[in-house]
Amino acid sequence: MQILSVYPQPTIAARLVDLLIGALPEKGADVWLVSPWITDFSVSLETRGPLLPLLGRDLEHTQLSVLVGLVARWNTVHVVVRPPSELVGRGELSRLAALLRARRQLLPLARQDETVREVLSIMERESEDLVTAAISNGDTVRLAARLRTVPGVKLHFNPRLHTKLLVTPRAALLGSANFTYSGMSRNDEIALIVDSPADVAALRRAAEATASRPFSLDANEYSFLGSLPEGERTACLELLDDAATPQSLADLLRVACQFAA
């Protein structure tokens, strides 16, 4: 067993890369990448020469999605994350849609009334805050959308997921860190490498259990819009049709809606 940390020297990301590279020769194995939030952070390849020929060019860094795609050429990579309905700021959608409606009604009065202009300014700032909150986990949604198109990757959703776990045929990494840039490089995190065959087998069963929830893209049982309560679904559709919706939120909602049965 090895103990890893982020501070004072980040070691978790390097060992995560090592485990993924170590899975490349396995052929036909199952690899599990489980985390509520996963983003396409950059990983270092400076000391990992055997991987470079597979990438086709000499690189010092690549993205997590590239490594996952390489492993998936010969193995099945199961990626388990929270569903988009838990990652997009659902609570903000209805409030933002209502703000935009109210803003449209007030705009014609703004020229004649200074108070209305002040109210519009306040509404604009609140709208910006709501958008920031709504898209804060958007990178995980975008990565999930990218990975679902990669042959050999199976995407699973678990709305109650809190586990952070990577399981390869020979070892597993588990700890407090999400597989994100902050989790690998900025936050105070700790993780363990486990390589006992019995422990790895037990952790693989635990990873498999995280994917045995009702939401599963592989089972065609997940739809972003269908998983929203009626009021939030209506607000989402309204925001998608509203030209005043900030582009960053509209783009994220379109990506989330791609996950449909």
pLDDT at 11: 86
Share of the chain above pLDDT 90, in %: 61
pLDDT at 3: 84
240 contacts 228 by C-beta, under 8 angstroms: no
pLDDT band at 261 (very low <50, low <70, confident <90, very high): low
8-55 residue pLDDT tens: 777 898 889 889 988 988 889 999 999 999 999 988 776 555 555 666
DSSP string, the chain: -EEEESSSS--HHHHHHHHHHHHTTS-S-EEEEE-S-B---EEE-TT-GGGHHHHTS--SEEEHHHHHHHHHHHSEEEEEE--HHHHS-HHHHHHHHHHHHHHHHHGGGTTT-HHHHHHHHHHHHHHHHHHHHHTTTHHHHHHHHHHTTSTTEEEEE-TT----EEE-SS-EEEES--BSHHHHHTS--EEEEE--HHHHHHHHHHHHHHT-SS-BTTTT---TGGGS-HHHHHHHHHHHH-TTS-HHHHHHHHHHHT---
All CATH 3.30.870.10 domain ranges of the chain, comma separated, are 2-86+139-210
**Per the omega criterion (within 30 degrees of 0), is the bond before 151 cis?**
no
Most confidently predicted of 36-40, 53-57, 209-213, 256-260:
36-40
pTM for this prediction: 0.89
Least confident of 187-191, 206-210, 212-216: 212-216
- Say whether pLDDT at 69 is over 90: yes
134-157 residue pLDDT tens: 999 999 999 999 999 999 999 999
The architecture of the domain spanning 2-86+139-210 is: 2-Layer Sandwich (3.30)
Share of the chain above pLDDT 70, in %: 91
- Say whether pLDDT at 220 is over 80: no
27 contacts 74 by C-beta, under 8 angstroms: yes
